[in-house]
Amino acid sequence: MNAPVHDTVGATGKVKQEIMVWDMPVRVFHWLLVICFAGAWLTSESERLAMIHYAFGYTACLLVLIRLVWGLIGTRYARFSQFLKSSRAIFEHFMAMLRGHPHHDVGHNPAGGLAMFALMLLILLIGFTGYLTAKEFFGNFASEVHEALASLVLGLVIVHIIAAIGMSVIEKQNLVRSMVTGKKSGFPEQGIRYPQILIGALIFLGTLYFFYLILSGTLPAFTQ
């Protein structure tokens, strides 16, 4: 049973509770992507660790592709239709924050949704330029673009972390913990019914297997 959160009451008088918001596929995607990006960054300067770098990088791209599909067919708060808002909605979100009256969205807020989508597209571009670099297409140009994109994404990741901490303070709930447990504060009817644990497990195992295939050189088309 969900534990009530007694200090948060809606206009109707209903008490907010800990509800399931982030399904297992979303959480698996999020934390595996964190590991893959960090691993790719830390191994980027070592020729000895090149295969590990490739494995992390291509696995990150696979995760993004899976997330794009899940954004179309996934649960309520995983879908792009829920958090990709119009430019007007994003502007109003920022103005509300500046006035000290931010919207308390159960899922991604408009700015967070846009940032997440931009990060995913940039990671695909990093993977594509990494592929061009591995194939030695376009000389140093592809490598320079690859490094520039990686630096840009690192900057966005840092901003994302700062924003998550800041919104945790504003909303008075730990958003990092929410991405671990899948739960946030909300009304019972706002929660998703099924966390999709089996699909999350399949994504996790499939991703590990793909990582192994790249690392072992079983898919040389990506690395040679």
pLDDT surpassing 50 at residue 35: yes
pLDDT band at 82 (very low <50, low <70, confident <90, very high): confident
User: Which has the minimum average pLDDT: 28-42, 101-115, 129-143?
Assistant: 101-115
The torsion defined by the Cα of 67, 73, 78 and 80, in degrees rounded to 10, comes to 90
- Bigger pLDDT: 112 vs 125: 125
Contacts of the segment 180-183: beta carbons below 8 A, 24+ positions apart? 180/27, 180/31, 182/20, 182/21, 182/22, 182/23, 182/24, 182/26, 182/27, 183/18, 183/19, 183/20, 183/21, 183/22
CB 122 within 8 A of CB 153: yes
CB 63 within 8 A of CB 34: no
> Across the chain, what does the average pLDDT equal?
88
User: Which has the minimum average pLDDT: 86-90, 169-173, 186-190, 195-199?
Assistant: 86-90
pLDDT surpassing 80 at residue 6: no
Sheet containing strand 183-186, strands side by side: 4-9, 15-20, 183-186
| Beta bridge partner(s), residue 66 | none
Q: Would you give the end-to-end CA distance of the chain in angstroms?
A: 53
pLDDT of residue 12: 52
pLDDT surpassing 80 at residue 120: yes
Domain boundaries of the chain, sorted by first residue: 23-87+105-222
The domain 23-87+105-222 is placed in CATH, from the list 1.20.950, 3.30.450, 1.10.150, 3.10.180, at: 1.20.950
User: What is the pLDDT averaged over residues 4-15?
Assistant: 53
- Bigger pLDDT: 5 vs 88: 88
From CA 217, how far away is CA 65, in angstroms rounded? 21
From CA 60, how far away is CA 54, in angstroms rounded? 10
